[in-house]
Every structure is written in C-alpha cells, then in structure tokens.
C-alpha cells in the first residue's frame, strides 16, 4: 500500500514539474523594469498592499494595478465594518443570510469609496513597482506589480472615517425627517424628498434607516399631492389667495398660471405668504360665469381654484319705488312735530350703501332736511328707509292734499369705495296722515 501511495506522489510531482516547465517555456520575459524580480513581487508583506495587473499596454496595466490596490483597501475596510456592524451581526445570527452579507458588503464598499483617503490613492504614494513585458502564446503582455503602503493604523483611521460618515448620514436623515412637519415651502418639500430618496437608496434593505427614509418620502409625496388653493379675499379687480396643506399655509416661488374668460390680468405677485392677482374687467359683460382661474403646478400635479366676480359688485344705484309716507308725530294744533317718514327704496345692486341725507321739497316751501342719517343697507332689491323729522311741520302746508307730488334728493355713498351719489326725485308721490 505504501508503495502505491509513494508511486502516486512521485507521479503527481513529475506531472506538476512538467506543467511548470511547459509554462515556463511558453512564458518568456522580453523586458522588465529591473534586471532581477524583487522579492516582494507576488508575496505578502505587513503594512503593504501588493497587487498585480496585466494588459497589452504598460500604462493601462499600471492603472489597472492601481485600481486593484484601491479595491483591496476598500475590501479590507468593508470586511472590518461588516464584522463590527450591529445590523449585520443581528441579521446573520437570525437568518444566516448570505445574500444579505453580499448586499451589505457591496453597499459598504460603495460608501467606503467616497472616503477622502480612498479618493487620494495615487501613483505618487506607491513605494515600489516592478513590471515585465512577457511573450505569451496569445502575444505580448505587460504585468505590472505595485507595493503600496497601508498599515493597520491607516485601516483603523479609515474605519473611523467610515463610521463618522455613517453617523453623519443618520444625523442627516433625522434632520430631514424632523423638518417635514414644519416645512412651509413646496420647493423645500421637493428637495427634501430628493435627499431622502438618495439616502434610502444608500441604505441596504434591512437597515431600519431605510424604512424611516421611505416613510418620510411617502409623507412628503402625500402632502404635495394634497395642496389646495384657498381664498383670502375676492374683491372686484383683485383676488388674494394662499396655498394650504390641511391647516398649514405653504408657499412656492413658482408663479401660478392665471387665466380668465374676459378679464385682463394686469399683475400677479407674491406678498408674504399670499398671492395677489390684479385685473381689469372693462371688456366683461354681466355674466355669472365671469371668473379668474389660478393654477399652481406642484411636484405631483396641480392645485387650482376658480374665483367668480360680478362686474356690478361695486356699483350703487337706488330709486324710490313707491309713495313716500309721512305719519305720526305730536299734533301741536297747526303743526306736527317728530313726524315719522318712510321712504320705500330699491337697490339695483347688492353693493352695501349708506344713506347720509334726505331733502324733501314741497313746492316753494322751506325744504325739509334730514341730515346725519348714516343708515346702512345691503343687498339687491327693496329696502325701507325709516327716519324722523325733527322740525315741526305746518299741517296745512306740508300735506298731501296741497302737494300730492314733491321733489327732493337722497344722498348716499358706497360702503366699499366711499363713492358718493345723489338720487333726484321729480313728481314723487307722497302721502300724509293729516
């Protein structure tokens, strides 16, 4: 039995030797950077990363070798982070998930590549190199060897940098999430959503921070889908509005699109947390569909509202629709004092107005003047102007029997604009109780 084993071992040794000899015969060094290959080539040395890469061009082989140095350092950082991560240890203990381990390491490598030290790996820091131009059956090829200093202290420093960057990601995440409930700008919401998406994509599936980021993304998306346009004030010629998400007033730097079926838009501007739209309506006819439409574009659609206007909203026009009646008062014999006067009015428009003064002219008699009335009326249609005449009236002079029709004026003004008007009465019917 021993003879058979020894024979087998001898045959195996001869086979390996034959293969190596054949490979040596097939591989011939044509040129090299040094006469003798350095001892560190293809070896291991504490405090260094030793790498080799090949290519048909020397410069390309050099760059590939530098990339391998960087890759080895990144892998070293990733492996150390992996073994110290509580997320990784927990998942591995519970599920022994190899796919998770691969995902974790890939994500860690990606983030480790952004560490300044890794980005600073360059040819200027290479301690030693050696290259060969080798003739092979497939043609000439360059093999580039590189010895790059990388100590245990540097590894620890990189791990600390990585962990610091990782903590910064957590702080960034928490900061973004904390802002969501107090944000008042649609642009800030959109930017925060983008930043949370970038963070989410950088976290692996089982990292609870990814779930937190996704919850924040969903919340922002829902908010931006539910923007509404609310009326602050809608007066003829101007509309003031604001954007809201629930009870929260929000702003945007993006100007709304404004259109109208007849009005000419003269100005659209932001004023604090409001938007103000000014317009003229000279070319508008009286139509219940006259309106201003405001449309705000958001990240997830649009928010719009229609503001209707009445071209007569500020007009005031009144007239007396029936006979004026004088009644009551204190009978003093030939005179009556404290007479009650009722004037039936009709307003053509709904605009509020104030009656300031009434003058009644009975022929060529002294006019009856009722001043400082300041009675306010609102709404289209009929109204009763009731007042008291302080001056004593002669019963035989200021009577319907003598003057069944009178003249006079009613002085009034608009509550909205302060514009003053006078309604003149001619041949106005009047009745008296005496």
Domains and CATH numbers, the chain: 29-150 (no CATH), 166-225 (no CATH), 228-308 (2.60.40), 318-432 (2.60.40)
- Contacts of 297 by beta carbon, 8 Å cutoff, 6+ apart: 254, 257
- At 165 the pLDDT is 82
Q: What is the pLDDT of residue 101?
A: 55
Cα distances (Å, whole numbers) of residue 345 to 33, 319, 369, 408, 430: 113, 6, 18, 14, 14
- pLDDT of amino acid 7: 32
- pLDDT for residue 350: 87
Dump pLDDT digits (tens) for 277-327: 999 999 999 999 999 999 999 999 999 999 999 998 888 999 999 999 999
- Predicted confidence at residue 17, as pLDDT, reads 36
Question: 337 and 326 in contact (C-beta within 8 Å)?
Answer: no
d(CA 430, CA 343): 9
What pLDDT is recorded for position 89? 46
Please name the residue ranges forming H helices in 136-271: 152-179, 186-202, 208-225
Query: Is residue 223 classed exposed, middle or buried when 0-12, 13-18 and 19+ CB atoms within 10 A define those classes?
Result: buried
Name 220's Cβ contacts closer than 8 Å, sequence gap at least 6.
Answer: 180, 189, 192, 193, 196
For residue 27 the two structure tokens come to: 């591989």
- Inter-residue contact 128 to 148 (CB < 8 Å): no
pTM over 0.85: no
Q: What parts of the chain have a pLDDT lower than 50?
A: 1-25, 85-95
Res 172: pLDDT: 96
Task: Name 269's bridge partners.
Answer: 276
| Contacts for 431 with CB less than 8 Å, ≥ 6 apart | 323, 324, 325, 326, 400
């Amino acid at each position: 039995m021993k003879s058979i084993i020894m024979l087998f071992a001898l045959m195996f040794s001869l086979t390996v030797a034959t293969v190596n000899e054949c490979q040596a015969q097939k591989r011939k060094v044509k040129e090299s950077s040094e006469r003798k290959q350095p001892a560190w080539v293809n070896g291991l040395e504490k405090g260094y990363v030793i790498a080799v890469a090949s290519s048909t061009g020397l410069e390309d082989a050099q760059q590939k070798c530098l990339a391998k140095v960087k890759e080895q350092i990144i892998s070293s950082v990733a492996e150390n982070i992996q073994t110290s991560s509580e997320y990784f240890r927990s998942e591995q203990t519970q599920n022994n998930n190899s796919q998770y381990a691969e995902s974790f390491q890939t994500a860690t490598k990606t983030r480790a590549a952004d560490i300044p030290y890794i980005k600073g790996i360059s040819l200027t820091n290479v301690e030693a190199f050696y290259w060969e131009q080798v003739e092979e059956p497939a043609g000439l090829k360059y093999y580039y060897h590189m010895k790059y200093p990388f100590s245990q202290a540097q590894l620890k420093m990189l791990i600390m940098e990585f962990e610091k960057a990782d903590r910064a990601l957590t702080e960034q995440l928490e900061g973004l999430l904390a802002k969501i409930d107090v944000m008042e700008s649609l642009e800030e919401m959109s930017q925060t959503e983008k930043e949370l998406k970038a963070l989410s994509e950088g976290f692996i599936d089982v990292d609870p921070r990814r779930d937190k980021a996704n919850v924040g993304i969903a919340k922002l998306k829902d908010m931006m889908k539910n923007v509404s346009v609310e009326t602050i004030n809608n007066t003829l010629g101007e509309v003031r509005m604001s954007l809201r998400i629930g009870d929260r007033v929000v702003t945007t730097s993006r100007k709304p699109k404004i259109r109208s079926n007849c009005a000419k838009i003269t100005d659209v501007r932001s004023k604090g947390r409001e938007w103000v739209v000014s317009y003229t309506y000279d070319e508008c006819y009286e139509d219940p569909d006259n309106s201003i439409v405001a449309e705000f574009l958001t990240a997830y659609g649009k928010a719009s509202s229609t503001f209707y206007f009445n071209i007569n909203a500020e007009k005031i026009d009144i007239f007396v629709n029936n006979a004026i009646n004088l009644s009551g008062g204190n009978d003093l014999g030939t005179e009556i004092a404290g007479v009650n006067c009722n004037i039936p009015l009709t307003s053509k428009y709904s605009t509020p107005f104030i009656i300031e003064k009434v003058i009644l002219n009975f022929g060529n008699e002294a006019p009856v003047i009722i001043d400082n009335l300041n009675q306010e009326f609102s709404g289209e249609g009929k109204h009763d102007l009731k007042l008291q005449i302080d001056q004593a009236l002669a019963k035989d002079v200021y009577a319907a029997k003598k003057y069944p029709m009178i003249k006079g004026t009613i002085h009034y003004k608009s509550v909205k604009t302060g514009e003053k008007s006078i309604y003149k009465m001619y041949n106005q019917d009047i009745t008296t109780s005496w």
